[in-house]
Amino acid sequence: MQKLYSKPLLALLVMGGISGLSAYKSVPGPGKELPNEAKEIKLPAGFQAQELATGLGAARHLAVNKVGDIYVRLSKLKDGHGMYVLKDRNGDGVLEDKTLLGDYAGTGVAIHKGYLYTSSNSAVFRYKLNAQEELAPGTVAETLVTGLADHGRDNAKPLTLDHKGNLYVTVGSYNDNCRGEGQAMGMSPCTVLDSAGGIWKFRADKANQTFGDGKRYITGIKNAVGLDWNFKTKSLYATSHGRGRFDDKFPQYYTAKQSAELPAETLYKLKDGDDAGWPTIYYDQFQSKKMLAPEYGGDGKKTAGEQAIDPIAAFPAHLAPNDLLFYTGNMFPDRYKNGAFIAFHNQSPELKKGYFVAFVPFVNGKAGAWEIFADNFAGVNLESPEGPVQHRPCGLAQGPDGALYVCDDLNGSLFKITYSK
């Protein structure tokens, strides 16, 4: 059983007679009052951004409960803990309570049917919530899944849940292109796919499952950090990080420029048994085709067969889509309803842009042309930067009022995006 609180914190709660999650409070840094208008974030007309918190640490994914409390997962421990609960107790926009909990780092977090689900890099847990979707002091986590592959590379375990009691967890590939040790060619078959490079399905309510108890729901997706269940279409969607460079081993087929601009980052609609093609196939956004990877006989011109599914949207290479959220709120204009927001964590050599939140409109269940929604988290001109990048969007969540929350794992900031006519 995974304890939510450390022993010293429990003692503090008991001795102080504190109720709720008000221990380990922190305050904004010297000389900076939060929230403040984040004027540097460029948004469509009518939208505003506020910076609610900063210095949180490596803030990866987040979830917001029905009363507006924000659960933020950390990929690196902060003061020995791996998650924040942030509370605005009087509704003034200021987060008075910042509580650190849990003793494991990780990425995944979701609120679903009275439970808070979280993940480390090798396991999944859940915590019982009260009617307001709050955690009670001393709550102990139930271990749901253990034994997920963690080789130190692309090892985050994003998660989502469906309407039938199933839990979906990404197990990213620790081998970028499934090449053998010191080899140019790929392993065939790619043995990595036995335990990684896909999305696995488990029961959401069954304790002490092991990796072997899960089902490989889809395969051939290198690292699907963005993961969301769409309750309108009753389908799983995922964004995938593309593979790395081609020209290191295959300069006869790919120039350095081509290597920097390929392959596409992709968005998929998935069903049981799908194969997205990795490592033998990649998607070329310039040709709008699935291509055979050079490790498996490709030369930059050979298209791939139909064994792999097509993405429903493709984006420039190396943007690193790190979260996916289907918007169901009522605050934003109607065109955003049921569309997808995607947090991009890196920059594109092709666009010379990056570190933004994109939007993909959906009409009658089909993806339209993507657009940049929230830009300039970097805070510098990426074509000719003068100074360091300020923020890297990583996690997305929707608040009970329909606001969009974005967290940043570089400087540990939390932003809230709202709309008013």
What one-character-per-residue DSSP string does 239-260 give?
EEPPP--STTT-TTT--HHHHH
Q: In this predicted structure, what is the pLDDT of residue 261?
A: 96
- Integer-rounded Cα Rg, in Å, for the chain is 21
Q: Is the pLDDT of residue 258 over 90?
A: yes
pTM of the model: 0.92
Q: What is the mean pLDDT of residues 185-199?
A: 96
Q: What is the mean pLDDT of residues 262-280?
A: 97
Tens of pLDDT, residue by residue over 157-171, are: 999 999 999 999 999
Q: In this predicted structure, what is the pLDDT of residue 33?
A: 58
Q: Is the pLDDT of residue 16 over 90?
A: no
How far is 409 from 123, CA to CA, in rounded Å? 21
Q: What is the mean pLDDT of residues 25-44?
A: 68
**CATH for the stretch 2-419:** 2.120.10.30
What residue segments make up the domains of the chain, in order of their start? 2-419
Tens of pLDDT, residue by residue over 338-397, are: 999 999 999 998 888 999 999 999 998 899 999 999 999 999 999 888 889 999 999 999
Pick 2 or 115 by higher pLDDT: 115
**Mean pLDDT of the chain, nearest integer:** 91
Sign of the C-alpha dihedral computed for residues 274, 278, 280 and 284 taken in this order: positive
Q: 350: left (phi > 0), else alpha (psi -120 to 50), else beta?
A: alpha
Q: What is the mean pLDDT of residues 48-65?
A: 96
**Strands, E, within 204-320: which ranges?**
209-210, 215-219, 226-230, 235-240, 265-270, 281-284, 289-292, 313-315
Q: What is the mean pLDDT of residues 309-333?
A: 97
Query: What phi and psi values does residue 23 have, to the nearest 5 degrees?
Result: -80, 165
How far is 128 from 81, CA to CA, in rounded Å? 19
